[in-house]
Amino acid sequence: MPGGRQLDETQTAAAQALAGNAHLMVIEGPAGAGKTSTLAVARDLLAARDRRMVVVTPTLKAA
């Protein structure tokens, strides 16, 4: 994965889906589940294609 990050199978699938053609995706999970790492990999995958993503959180802070 980009940046040398190690993701599990579910996180890899989520990162690939985020970097795909979906217009909206929701990523949620408990602290330590790997949300930030998954988003970082998705960001890197998108950047490699000159694309970007926008992240919003309902709590006004990153988990």
Average pLDDT of the segment spanning 29-44: 90
Distances (CA, A) of 45 to 21, 50, 53, 59: 12, 9, 10, 26
Indicate if the pLDDT at residue 5 is higher than 90. Answer: no
What 8-state DSSP symbol labels residue 46? H
pLDDT at 62 over 80: no
Q: How confident is the model at residue 1 (pLDDT cuts 50, 70, 90)?
A: low
CA distances from 43 to 22, 33, 55, 63 (A): 14, 18, 10, 17
- Mean pLDDT value of segment 36-51: 92
What does pTM read for this prediction?
A: 0.75
**Closest-CA residue to 40 (of 12, 10, 9, 59):** 12
Q: Report helix, strand or coil for 63.
A: coil
Mean pLDDT of 7-29: 88
